[in-house]
Structure 1
Amino acid sequence: MNRWMYAMMVPGILYFVIFKYVPMWGVVISFQDYQPFLGISGSQWVGMKHFERLFSSPDFWLLFKNTLMLFIWDLTFAFSIPIVLALMLNELRSQFFKRAVQTMIYIPHFMSWVIVVSLTYIMLTTEGGIVNDLLVKWGGEPVNFMLSQGWFRPLYTVQTIWKEAGWGTIIYLAALSGVDQQLYEAARMDGASRWKQMWHVTIPGIRSTIVVLLILKVGDMLDLSFDHVFLMVNSMNREVADVFDTFVYLTGISQGQFSYSTAIGLFKSAVGLVMVVAANKLAKMLGEEGIY
């Protein structure tokens, strides 16, 4: 029986080996002046040249700041909203209404970022956008949200929440289904209100799930959604919108600096690994299981 279970694992293992592990060999070009026509074996080795260039570049701290700020906004709002939604859905007693709400909040996940950003533009544009039309109708002045540096991070976060918050509730709802119902019965017998049941039974029941997802989230500190950011960047908000992902695209694809852009990608991966290990260790020190 076990051999069939192992056989079912083969496609997944092959996927990770072919598309995740084999391409790792390409990171060696971050230590070379890579020339496509010479290949990896024929390109000149330059050691840490590209990393020194990255850390000494005036763009580095700007990119790091912008990436970190977006991550903080994402962690503060986009990470917590699915937890709140899952807790609210768990309190619904009407299964029909619960499923209807779930369906509605899942749908945005299946839309591409192109559609999400396009819808945002249509709603916020100064030329016929419903939001600016209402502002003018109420006696205010139109605001060019898409070109504003101050509005970039709020818009980015709101779009992320609208698109992914509903989908993010799936894991938490699955965890909630595993909470022992006898704990709720015991809490009710002790006179606990539904709020106290949620605080003392429900949340502790999914705490381990929250910790695991938080650790994984911290590992993506410098790895934002390229599609999302790239579609929102323009010449007016670039000072707050440029992140490592868009910079890699600019230097690697547009300018053909493959070694330099690979060095940036390797730096991001190294930071992610360190953050996951550190967050996991901290979680264990606080009495949680962690991810390993």
Structure 2
Amino acid sequence: MKTLKKHGELLILFFFAFAFFFVFKYGPLYGVIIAFKDFRVVDGVWGSPWVGFEHFQEIFRNHDFYRLLKNTLLLNLYQMLFAFPAPIVLALLLNEVKSRGFQRFVQTTMYLPHFVSWVIMSGLVIYFLSPTSGIMGEISSWFGKEPVFYMGKKEYFRAIVVGSSILKDLGWGSIIYFAALTGINPELQESAIIDGANRWQRIIRINIPSILPTVSIMFILSLGGFLSANFEQIINLLNPVNYETGDVIDTYVYRVGLQQFQYSYTAAIGLFKSLVGLLLILGANLTVRKVSHGESGLW
């Protein structure tokens, strides 16, 4: 009772977080059972006939699945290579800015796109890349070149997705890294300056090693969704011309599961994605702990 009275406010905050995850994350887990059943709405979850691993076998028999898997893996690989390091670089750059006013201005400006929905953001991207009325079309005309219809060429789709992701979430993603940088002991910087280290050397020798545990944790967590794509972004940028490179597992699940009512089949795909994500997290956490000799990792 003494503990409850002492930490009552924290327990109240914890209760709301616990209720959210219980209701929206853990509560619906019983529905995963339909991946092993031939689910029919009229029979319900428990009344539908059991089919075992039939839907999982169908996944790997479907030739379209390998194209979807390739597109999803490539998109997430490009996100890891370009979008994941971008907030780290921004945080390192902002940390070197001496003018607090300019620093706050840049932070506020970079944060704003995060609060814009993907419906609006995708519309802006499409308008920006339009060959007739977009800025890219105007720039091409200035140089006497024929405007390119970027949204109509499948080879540009992945670059557009990664670029728009960076533009939208660059500032917001840098918050946690900037917070980690502000937690570095100033005495380390002062000692390095006295020893003659320049700004670049301080970034390499002090700043980056100090935030590596944070980077490791964020990297491990991001691997959990390696077979997932930002559905809102993809569905708003996708069109029949770029289906070959832009159609991913999430958009396929939307079409087949919700529009064609194949709930059991798409539930099996979702469970497959979750299992792969779990294995990636476990493997990445084990690797990080071995490399850092147990100093970093989720547990």
Measured against the shorter chain, the TM-score band is over 0.9
Residues of 1 paired with 2:10 and 2:114: CA distance?
Answer: 31
Which of 71, 78, 92 does residue 73 from structure 1 map onto? 78
SS at match of 2:241: coil
Alignment of 1:198-237 (within 5 A): 198-237=203-242
Q: In structure 1, what is the equivalent of residue 277 of structure 2? A: 272
User: How far off its partner does 1:137 sit?
Assistant: 3.2
Which of 88, 96, 99 does residue 91 from structure 1 map onto? 96
Residues of 1 paired with 2:89 and 2:129: CA distance?
Answer: 27
Q: In structure 2, what is the equivalent of residue 6 of structure 1? A: 11
Residues of 2 paired with 1:124 and 1:194: CA distance?
Answer: 38
User: How far off its partner does 1:117 sit?
Assistant: 0.9
Which of 45, 48, 60 does residue 40 from structure 1 map onto? 45
Q: Which runs of 4+ in 1 moved over 3 A?
A: none
| Deviation sequence 1:16-63 (CA, Å, 0-9, x none) | 111100101111001011001110111011000100000111012111
Q: In structure 2, what is the equivalent of residue 289 of structure 1? A: 296
Q: In structure 1, what is the equivalent of residue 110 of structure 2? A: 105
User: Which amino acid in the other structure matches residue 191 of structure 2?
Assistant: A
Number of equivalences: 292
SS at match of 2:174: helix
Matched, 1:179 2:193: no
User: How far off its partner does 1:163 sit?
Assistant: 0.1
CA RMSD of aligned residues (A): 1.0
Give unmatched runs, 5+ long, in structure 1: none
Residues of 2 paired with 1:58 and 1:185: CA distance?
Answer: 60
Q: In structure 1, what is the equivalent of residue 121 of structure 2? A: 116
Q: In structure 2, what is the equivalent of residue 192 of structure 1? A: 197
User: How far off its partner does 1:243 sit?
Assistant: 0.6
Q: Identity rate of aligned residues, in percent?
A: 41
Q: In structure 2, what is the equivalent of residue 155 of structure 1? A: 160
Q: In structure 1, what is the equivalent of residue 3 of structure 2? A: none
Residues of 1 paired with 2:83 and 2:119: CA distance?
Answer: 19
SS at match of 1:236: helix
Q: In structure 1, what is the equivalent of residue 149 of structure 2? A: 144
Give the alignment's TM-score, normalised by structure 1.
0.98
User: How far off its partner does 1:3 sit?
Assistant: 4.0
SS at match of 2:131: coil
User: Which amino acid in the other structure matches residue 152 of structure 1?
Assistant: F
- Rate the CA distance shift 1:200–1:123 in 2: closer, same or farther, 3 A: same
Residues of 1 paired with 2:263 and 2:195: CA distance?
Answer: 65
Residues of 1 paired with 2:179 and 2:138: CA distance?
Answer: 42
